[in-house]
Amino acid sequence: MALEDKKTFSIIRLKSAFKYAFQGIKYASTVEKNFKIHLLCAVLVLFVSAFLGLQAVEWLFIIISIFGVMALELINSAIERVVDLSTTEIHPLAKQAKDLAAAAVLVYAIMAVIIGIIILGPKLIQLIFNH
């Protein structure tokens, strides 16, 4: 395929790109244990957020937190696959790459939990103690 062909817009290529992306999400949601955990937590947080009636700006922080964790988990899984594909040996750099990718997910997930506590915590406490 010529370079010019790759640069031109094609609805078929666009549809293929979305198809492959959705296949990745489907794969992660059925196979990846950590992604399933993040998905379950996301559903719970969305349910609680809807129940508590968040303001628009609160929803923005919740949505950014949820999708950020999930996106990083997908990247982490991709990095793990690439590292596993590149070597069958236990190599210190391979371990570091995997550990660093996992650490990125952990750091973002901690931030997401903190945001959840800041936004949802006071509302849940008020709901519990005012009833």
Is the pLDDT assigned to residue 92 strictly greater than 70? yes
* Mean pLDDT calculated for residue range 34-50: 97
Distance of CA 97 to the CA centre of its chain: 18
Question: For the whole model, what pTM was predicted?
Answer: 0.86
112, 120 contact by CB (below 8 A): no
Which pLDDT score, from 0 to 100, does residue 88 have?
82
Per-residue pLDDT tens digits for 95-111: 999 999 999 999 999 99
**24 in a domain, yes or no?**
yes
**91 in a domain, yes or no?**
yes
Cβ count within 10 A of residue 97: 16
What is the pLDDT confidence band of residue 48, given thresholds at 50, 70 and 90?
very high
34, 73 contact by CB (below 8 A): yes
Report DSSP state, residue 101.
H
Alpha carbon distance 86, 11 (integer Å): 33
Q: Which of 4, 32, 58, 73 is catalytic?
A: 73
79, 98 contact by CB (below 8 A): yes
State the residue range of the domain holding 58: 12-129
**3 in a domain, yes or no?**
no
Structure-token pair, residue 118: 């800041």
Which pLDDT score, from 0 to 100, does residue 95 have?
93
Structure-token pair, residue 105: 């997910």
**65 in a domain, yes or no?**
yes
CATH classification of the domain holding 99: 1.10.287.3610
What is the pLDDT confidence band of residue 15, given thresholds at 50, 70 and 90?
very high
Which pLDDT score, from 0 to 100, does residue 98 have?
95
What is the pLDDT confidence band of residue 6, given thresholds at 50, 70 and 90?
low
Structure-token pair, residue 88: 């069958």
Number of domains in the chain: 1
Active site residue 73: yes
